Structure 1
Amino acid sequence: MAQLPPGIRFITSFSRDQWYRAFIFSLTFFLYASFHLSRKPISIVKGELHKHCAASHEVELNSYKEYAARIQPVKKPSNASQCGWEPFDKNNYKQLLGALDYSFLCAYAIGMYLSGIIGERLPIRYYLTVGMLASGLFTAMFGLGYFYNIHNLWFYIMAQIANGLVQTTGWPSVVTCIGNWFGKGRRGLIMGIWNSHTSVGNILGSLIAAYWVSTCWGLSFVMPGVIIAVMGIVCFLFLIEHPKDISCSCTPSSSSKTILNGACRFRVQMPTLNAKEMSKPQDPEMEHLLIDTENCSVSLNSSPVATGEGRHGTSAISFFGALRIPGVIEFSLCLLFAKLVSYTFLFWLPLYITNVEHLDAKRAGDLSTLFDVGGIFGGILAGLISDRLEKRASTCGMMLLLAAPTLYMFSAVSKMGLEATVVMLLISGALVNGPYALITTAVSADL
């Protein structure tokens, strides 16, 4: 019998379940990367919506000539003013651009709460598909203002609000799906690699938006909108929500018993431990998450707080029931400040680089991707360390403590030159996005 080709031997070396797991890992990675890809253009286009038309009065003549010589001359659109795009060409442009940001973020915050409630009661595939198609529509809607010569501020604010609401369908869906397919063993490393989709999406979004920003900034929104809509169709055609939907045994099939958590309010599934596992010392940080059945005064037949039935027969937890889970409030506060910094960089970093380094919008957008490159390594490193030490809280706390002085150094060192900015962007991205990635993936799935 002839020997099988190397490629076929490689394919057959993996089981059916392993191939399905790898497929879901890759699919959800690119699905959520497309969400971040569609969020990034606004930060790139800010430098084009408002241009520093008074630059000649702010710098000396010789330095301005040198600055102008470095910038490639581009053909100005017929519907653009000298200082940018109306109404962002006025002196209050910072407030107007800020209004676009907090319109999106306020809608995103409200929508995230509603999305978690609604998403628990609907099939992931349908819910995520509708959200991605709607995200593509409202992302492209912002760019259509360029082609239809729209200068009404409320048009752009409403586009941001609508986009912020529908963008919330992404995260609860993909993190639930990936949690269904991967067990808790060494979850930090797996989730750290998987969560790099946020940085990959930001990088791709920056490069795509920067390609058209100086010539036709409307396409900087339309093209990402088309991409996320296409990925929504891919989601509808291929996403498998749970291994048992295809009789896949990817998750451990250990026997489990239904018991109540320390708050005695909702049901959770805990695997039955053997004698060896029972004798193993527990992580001090996770002891408060373990369940003490002796202290629970409610019988196992008690009904859970939430009345709605979630997917696959599990009961949906209420908002106050979720707050009673040990660790939820603490990690939520950590994530609050990590996301505050991350989204500040997401929306304002290219404009900051434009003002400090005197680069055009395209080059500033390309340079801003280094923050996300550092975030990729930071997320993987945080997951690896937390798996090795089995201390997720300590890993997050240490990286956040190091991030605080690093950000202060960034504001000072970035004015010393382009090389210093590159180094500080990589370090800041790793320290900020590391705990961000760990909390939003491994920690949230563990809780």
Structure 2
Amino acid sequence: MATSSISEAPSAVSPAAKRRWLVAGVLLLVVIAGFFDRISIAVLFTNSEFNQAIGIGFNPPMLGLLMTSFLFAYGVSGVLLSFIGDIYGPRRSLAVGASLWGVFMVLIGAASSFTSMIVYRVLLGLAEGPQFALVNKVVKRWFPKHEQARANSVWMVGSPLGSAIGFPLTIALVAAFGWRSSFYALAILNIVIIVPLVLMLVRDWPPHREAEARAEEVSTTSMTGSIGIFLKDWRFWMILLFNSACLVYLWGLNAWLPSYLQKVQHFDLKSLGFFASLPFILMFFGELLGGYISDRIGRRAIVCFVGLFMAGALIYVVSYVSNPYAAAIVMALSAGFWGSALPPLFAMAAQIIPPQVTASGVGVYNGAGNLIGACSPLLMGWIIGTAGNFDAGLLVLVGAGVLGSLAMLPLIKRY
């Protein structure tokens, strides 16, 4: 026993062990780049040149369909293709995936009709679907259990950072070079920067704890049997329901926030960049804080519950705030609470899903969540178009936050 303790001590401070946080940083960049690709289309909803090029004008339901088509494919891919990380390894899978993102972004930039735009958005969604499952598998292997919530919070902040940076970046690219060039620039980012970083710095197995990581994935149960175990576990379905509500909120906000700020709050382009970023800046800090608090108190479910409930409640408050700046700030606070729920959710999933099928399990609950969340942009677009106002559309986010948070209540005592 003493010998084991002595031999393990150096690894805790070895260069290989310290490298795990560099790997987490690369995963962060992977997620940021992926979010650039996903949300860039939302900036163009009010761009007349873009709307004319694809032949639809400002048609909220059809514009919402551009986001929903991507998300539906993303969700299907997350459910059906995330096993590739368990079979081929996360490093190779991420590198091939990022290469495909770049190719499809070029095709989107060259699209000349609504139909071709939908097709390429679907292909992009299929390519990006396994991303979170692959990233989560890398974290599960590289980090011990007591660090996983914090490690997850590092790459998860790529979601808000991707939107916080992506919205003003895309606005600037479109203003300077046109909407087509904005897609070409993001394609270059994927192929020239993300793919080489993954290949150079990410490994399937961590050198500082490879034996331990492999042991965690050894099981006498087959992969099919392990998948069957978590599919029969009611706790898995609670996190799936909760995650679905999270994604209804996230994709609805990403799809319609720029249009809401322009058409309802009447922000000009200069102000739009900042206030479109603000919710995701606070989401970033919310994710960091949520991961820290969750690890600190050793509880996951209560942090998830409070975060999502408050996110929905504050969106409801937005409808009653008349000052545009105050409304934008309340909306940003809502996003901050939403962010606090994600790191403990993924850490809790890692405790519930059998280790040898982590990628498959995360892929199922994240993919199914995205299939449900995919309805949000289209549903909000239909409500906005039918009711003639954005406040009615925002009720979708309110319902997702308040009702979705209830899925955590049965888990609070144990997690």
The TM-score bracket by the shorter chain reads 0.7 to 0.9
In structure 2, the residue matched to 1:347 is: 255
TM-score normalised according to structure 1 size: 0.70
Q: Is 1:87 paired with 2:55?
A: yes
In structure 2, the residue matched to 1:191 is: 152
User: Does the CA contact (< 8 Å) of 1:38 and 1:139 recur in 2?
Assistant: yes
User: Does the CA contact (< 8 Å) of 2:24 and 2:151 recur in 1?
Assistant: no
C-alpha displacement at 1:405, in angstroms? 1.5
1: CA distance, partners of 2:333 / 2:89: 39
The one-letter amino acid paired with 1:357 is Q
In structure 2, the residue matched to 1:6 is: none
Q: Is 1:445 paired with 2:350?
A: yes
In structure 2, the residue matched to 1:428 is: 334
C-alpha displacement at 1:96, in angstroms? 1.5
Match of 2:199 among 218, 228, 236: 236
Q: Is 1:328 paired with 2:245?
A: no
User: Does the CA contact (< 8 Å) of 1:119 and 1:127 recur in 2?
Assistant: yes
In structure 2, the residue matched to 1:34 is: 33
1: CA distance, partners of 2:215 / 2:167: 47
C-alpha displacement at 1:238, in angstroms? 2.7
2: CA distance, partners of 1:427 / 1:317: 39
2: CA distance, partners of 1:114 / 1:443: 22
In structure 1, the residue matched to 2:305 is: 397
Match of 1:208 among 169, 182, 194: 169
2: CA distance, partners of 1:110 / 1:444: 19
Q: Residues 385, 250 of structure 1: CA spacing in aligned structure 2 closer, same or farther, 3 A cutoff?
A: farther
1: CA distance, partners of 2:217 / 2:64: 51
The one-letter amino acid paired with 1:191 is N
C-alpha displacement at 1:241, in angstroms? 1.6
1: CA distance, partners of 2:61 / 2:270: 23
2: CA distance, partners of 1:179 / 1:239: 13
In structure 2, the residue matched to 1:311 is: none
Gaps of 5+ in 2: 1-11, 353-415
Deviations 1:40-98 (A, max 9, x none): 211111121x4xxxxxxxxxxxxxxxxxxxxxxxxxxxxx49x85441326xx112201
The one-letter amino acid paired with 1:236 is L
Q: Is 1:225 paired with 2:132?
A: no
1: CA distance, partners of 2:125 / 2:283: 23
Larger radius of gyration: 1
Q: Is 1:406 paired with 2:314?
A: yes
The one-letter amino acid paired with 2:44 is V
1: CA distance, partners of 2:187 / 2:240: 30
Deviations 1:24-49 (A, max 9, x none): 1211121222111221211111121x
State the SS of the aligned residue for 1:369: helix
User: Does the CA contact (< 8 Å) of 1:351 and 1:364 recur in 2?
Assistant: no
Deviations 1:282-311 (A, max 9, x none): xxxxxxxxxxxxxxxxxxxxx52435xxxx
Tell me which of the two structures has the higher relative contact order, counting C-alpha pairs closer than 8 angstroms and 6 or more residues apart.
2
Deviations 1:177-206 (A, max 9, x none): 011111111432342244212112222221
User: Does the CA contact (< 8 Å) of 1:28 and 1:178 recur in 2?
Assistant: no
User: Does the CA contact (< 8 Å) of 1:396 and 1:435 recur in 2?
Assistant: yes
Q: Is 1:170 paired with 2:131?
A: yes
In structure 2, the residue matched to 1:306 is: 223
154-163 or 166-175: bigger deviation: 166-175
Root-mean-square deviation (Å): 2.6
In structure 1, the residue matched to 2:96 is: 130
2: CA distance, partners of 1:257 / 1:181: 13
C-alpha displacement at 1:390, in angstroms? 1.8
In structure 1, the residue matched to 2:15 is: 16
C-alpha displacement at 1:23, in angstroms? 1.9
State the SS of the aligned residue for 1:242: coil
Q: Residues 366, 40 of structure 1: CA spacing in aligned structure 2 closer, same or farther, 3 A cutoff?
A: farther
Q: Residues 329, 358 of structure 1: CA spacing in aligned structure 2 closer, same or farther, 3 A cutoff?
A: same
1: CA distance, partners of 2:296 / 2:343: 17
State the SS of the aligned residue for 1:120: helix
Q: Is 1:380 paired with 2:288?
A: yes
2: CA distance, partners of 1:242 / 1:253: 7
Q: Residues 369, 251 of structure 1: CA spacing in aligned structure 2 closer, same or farther, 3 A cutoff?
A: farther
1: CA distance, partners of 2:286 / 2:179: 31
C-alpha displacement at 1:355, in angstroms? 0.5
1: CA distance, partners of 2:255 / 2:315: 16
C-alpha displacement at 1:112, in angstroms? 0.5
User: Does the CA contact (< 8 Å) of 2:24 and 2:154 recur in 1?
Assistant: no
The one-letter amino acid paired with 1:196 is V
Q: Residues 361, 306 of structure 1: CA spacing in aligned structure 2 closer, same or farther, 3 A cutoff?
A: same
C-alpha displacement at 1:388, in angstroms? 2.5
Q: Residues 21, 88 of structure 1: CA spacing in aligned structure 2 closer, same or farther, 3 A cutoff?
A: same
Match of 1:119 among 71, 85, 88: 85
TM-score normalised according to structure 2 size: 0.75
1: CA distance, partners of 2:278 / 2:231: 36
Aligned length: 339
1: CA distance, partners of 2:230 / 2:281: 33
Deviations 1:303-352 (A, max 9, x none): 52435xxxxxxxx843x332124521111111111110011111111011
Deviations 1:259-302 (A, max 9, x none): xxxxxxxx4xxxxxxxxxxxxxxxxxxxxxxxxxxxxxxxxxxx
1: CA distance, partners of 2:188 / 2:139: 25
C-alpha displacement at 1:386, in angstroms? 1.7
Q: Is 1:359 paired with 2:282?
A: no
